[in-house]
Amino acid sequence: MVIKRSRVLLLALLTVLLAGCSANLQKEPNSKQADEPIEIKMLSSWSTDTERGRALHLLVNKYNEARAGKVKISIDINPDWPNYQEKVKTMIAAKQPPDLFNYNFNPNDLSRQNSGQLLDFSPYMDEQWRSRFKPEDIEALTFNGELTSIPYEKAGVLFYYNKKLFAEAGIQTFPQTWDEFFAACAKLKKKGIIPISLMTADDSWHSTNALTYLAAAADGMDVFKAGVSLDTPGMVAAAEKLKQLFSYSTDDAIGANYSISSNHFALGNTAMIIDGPWLIGSLDDELQKNIGISAGPLVHQGHAQKGFIVTDTYTPWSAGKQASKEKEQAIVDFMKYMTSDDGVRLMTLEGRILLSAELSLSEEELKKAGPVLSQFIDVSGSAPESIIQISRVLKPAAISKLPSLIEGMMFEQYDPAGMVRRMNEANQ
């Protein structure tokens, strides 16, 4: 009897453990039979609550239909972008890279490329496929002769301005220099209009956009280049101007997150915001008619060309190395479809996402894209030069410090020069 009891206990324990194990085993890919479709799991942050998410689902469904019975792509959504980015890194660290994922490319953080876990696309990069991309994009993503990332999105981050509010303050055109810009802000403020949406929570996105524009206008497009000191007079001046800009923002700018900041603009509380094309979906039709899009203002004796823009970094797609050749080919085939003319057209028009692959839109299609997106495409397309947003190119340690450094400057814990010095130190 006694022995039996102990056995029962042991059994109970084992069952619990085994139940877990078997649940896990089911998840392992079954050995493929010829008639079973190849399953590819694609990670994405674009939930179906967003236009781009719906467009991606449409695209994947189209592809699955065309390859019915052979390939099945399923999308796993993790809408929290920073969290998703870290997940990918940890999956690579555990030598289980995802089948397909996208990420923010950072020349200062090549841990993914150096992991040896990613699929090299270069053998598949034939002339036809290569012609879909700008040569410099391919070049920027090639390391040690390996192309582990397919260029996809590289969205401009541009000035949105509310023409109606500008007109109320008697401003006709978007300012061409930062001096004019601040003069315009003063005019708006006088009329009781808050000039610009800024924020400092999370990654401090709208504020670091402004900082990038200010820094690039002064020091040119190489201001954040790896190995170059950030502690320059141009950067200090940029930080000073950023501080000044906060006095033209909402009273909740410090501590505001992306939603609060962008909602201020979307509801017409503020006259300007600096953001990417994904904001367009949050603006209602009435407002869209009054939106102007512009490139960055210049500074006196600055090193930037007129019409320069800030862009988000490359957000390319990468794939994990595959044991099965068939699956590898299936992944390549899908990537070719995604970057094909059809695929890009669908994502641009339905998902309002600006891609780095070549695409020429007809007048009619441009019109269909809506007034804001067509301006966006226009301004991005005619920019003579561009710079990648600051919080995408610094070392991770500096990126994580940047928002609190801006807040510290705003609370007078140190002056703009002190803020720049600390930022530079964190970037070593």
Looking only at residues 42 through 61 of this chain, which bind other proteins when binding is defined by CB under 8 A?
Answer: 43, 47-50
Which CB sits closer to other proteins, 234 or 351? 351
Q: How many residues does the chain have?
A: 428
Task: State the Cα–Cα distance between residues 139 and 314, nearest whole angstrom.
Answer: 12
Binds other proteins (CB under 8 A): choice among 15, 29, 61, 80: 80
- Least separation, in Å, of the C-beta of 170 and other proteins? 26
Binds other proteins (CB under 8 A): choice among 67, 81, 120, 421: 81
29 binds other proteins per the rule CB under 8 A: no
Note the helical H segments in 71-117.
81-93
Binding mask 193-232 for other proteins (x = CB under 8 A): -------xxx------------------------------
Task: State the Cα–Cα distance between residues 374 and 8, nearest whole angstrom.
Answer: 71
Rounded to 5 degrees, what angle do the CA atoms 190, 194, 199 make?
Answer: 145
Binds other proteins (CB under 8 A): choice among 122, 247, 288, 413: 413
Note the helical H segments in 191-276.
205-219, 233-246, 258-266
At what angle are helices 233-246 and 205-219 packed, to 10 degrees? Answer: 140
Looking at residues 87 to 146 of the shown chain, list those that interact with other proteins (rule: CB under 8 A): 87, 89-94, 96, 109, 111-112, 114-115
6 binds other proteins per the rule CB under 8 A: yes
Looking at residues 372 to 401 of the shown chain, list those that interact with other proteins (rule: CB under 8 A): 396-397, 399-400
Looking at residues 265 to 304 of the shown chain, list those that interact with other proteins (rule: CB under 8 A): 266-267, 269, 279, 282, 284
Task: State the Cα–Cα distance between residues 20 and 5, nearest whole angstrom.
Answer: 23
324 binds other proteins per the rule CB under 8 A: no
Which helix (DSSP H) or strand (DSSP E) does residue 130 occupy?
A: helix 127-130
407 binds other proteins per the rule CB under 8 A: yes
Binds other proteins (CB under 8 A): choice among 36, 76, 139, 222: 76
User: Measured between alpha carbons, how far is residue 185 from residues 16, 72, 180 in Å?
Assistant: 65, 53, 9
Which CB sits closer to other proteins, 202 or 385? 202
- Least separation, in Å, of the C-beta of 85 and other proteins? 9
Backbone angle region of 41, left / alpha / beta, with phi > 0 → left and psi within -120 to 50 → alpha: beta
